[in-house]
Homo-oligomer: A and B are copies of this chain.
Amino acid sequence: MKKIKVGAVGLGRLGYRHAENLAFKIPNAELIALCDMNQEKLNETVNAWNIPFGYTDFDEMIKNEELEAIVITSPSALHTTQIAKALDAGLHVFSEKPLGTNVEECKIAEEAVERHPELVFMLGFMRRYDPSYAYAREKIKNGEIGKPVLFRGYSQDPESCIDGAIAYCGHSGGQFIDMAVHDIDLACWMLESEPKSIFAIGGCYAHPEFGEHKDGDNVSALMHFKNETMVFLLAGRTAPHGYNVETEIIGTKGTLRIASVPQKNLVEILDEHGVRKECSQDFLERFEDAYVEEVLEFIDCIVNNRKPEVTVYDGTKTTEIAYRCKEAFETNELIRM
């Protein structure tokens, strides 16, 4: 059983989770290097898990000749540069979404991937690896719901995280690029099509701070896809009940709903509030398994010398669509693609 030697870049919340999964839950991976600009956080983790190499400088890290692959969870603006450098250093690369913060950046990544057909590149659209989404997509592909009529995707962050969202909102690219990009990828992936027209609206219903960046705390888009399917997306930051990622695909012969109750677990409570389920509180809780599954897939691609289903072009396409949604929102005009 060959183990792939992996380095992890970025020890923020999701980066730490990726590193932890690499260290403990991916049998064919061996986490040998960590990289984070925060020396203290780095040392702490390196020591706790007994990791051989620690770096505060990405360029130094990729010189490590033992390394075979890296997992990038750095700030979005660094993604494409790091992807290109790592590929050029001969490393397989897994990068968190978004591919880049604009289409020009994405092209840098595309070119690097095209320069290195011998290497595996994969983008972190983890929802595709959630068992429920995978199950639903199979049903769609098998024709079990007939022709898709409407795709509805909600991505709602809990109000409890609003302070972080506000602090970050100047750099996030906005709700469409930061949040809806997952739903855009799901829609394109499940429907095997892409938008021909986009209308987008929204507002600051609770938090005017988002308005300072021409964004809203809740925004939505209605798109007509080239295959005629209607696609409605909502991205919001003010869900009082928790983290809510909910998807519905209405077809002519059946409808599928994924996680229409964002349940924490299988416990139902009957008390003075009624009959209720508690909700998952963040993306790490909801997609705990999917974050493992996607990296299992990445490592398996390396081991078996094959390419993952998620390509660099999916990254460019979703970034572009998200930008057009943002443009529709900002201009209040109908966008035709």
Contact = CB atoms under 8 A, between A and B. Distances in A.
A146 B23 CA distance: 41
A85 interface: no
A221 B222 CA distance: 8
Contacts of A276: 273-277
Contact of A232 (B136, B203, B222, B252): B222
Max count, chain B CB within 10 A of own CB: residue among A150, A199, A241, A274: A274
Contacts of A332: 197
B202 A230 contact: yes
Nearest to A148: B205
A53 to B, nearest CB: 16
A283 to B, nearest CB: 15
Nearest to A199: B199
B259 A266 contact: yes
A56 interface: no
A150 B234 CA distance: 9
A116 interface: no
Given A271-B254, A276-B276, A265 B220 contact: no
B232 A253 contact: no
A240 B270 contact: yes
Given A202-B230, A220-B230, A332-B197, A136 B267 contact: yes
Contacts of A278: 274
A168 interface: no
A255 B274 CA distance: 10
Interface in A222-248: 222, 224, 228, 230, 232, 234, 236, 238-242, 244
Main SS class of interface, A: strand
A218 interface: yes
A188 interface: no
B27 A272 contact: no
A147 to B, nearest CB: 5
A147 B205 contact: yes
A1 interface: yes
Contacts of A135: 264-265, 267
Contacts of A232: 220, 222, 232
B206 A224 contact: no
A193 interface: no
A256 B268 contact: yes
29 contacts: A135-B264, A136-B267, A145-B271, A149-B205, A150-B218, A159-B252, A202-B230, A206-B252, A220-B222, A230-B234, A238-B252, A240-B253, A240-B255, A241-B270, A241-B272, A254-B272, A255-B269, A256-B269, A257-B267, A257-B268, A257-B269, A258-B266, A260-B268, A264-B274, A273-B273, A273-B276, A274-B279, A275-B279, A333-B334
6 A-B pairs closest in CB distance: A276-B276, A199-B199, A222-B222, A255-B270, A254-B271, A132-B266
Interface of A: 1, 23-25, 27, 49-50, 131-132, 135-136, 139, 145-150, 159, 197, 199, 201-203, 205-206, 218, 220-222, 224, 228, 230, 232, 234, 236, 238-242, 244, 250, 252-279, 332-334
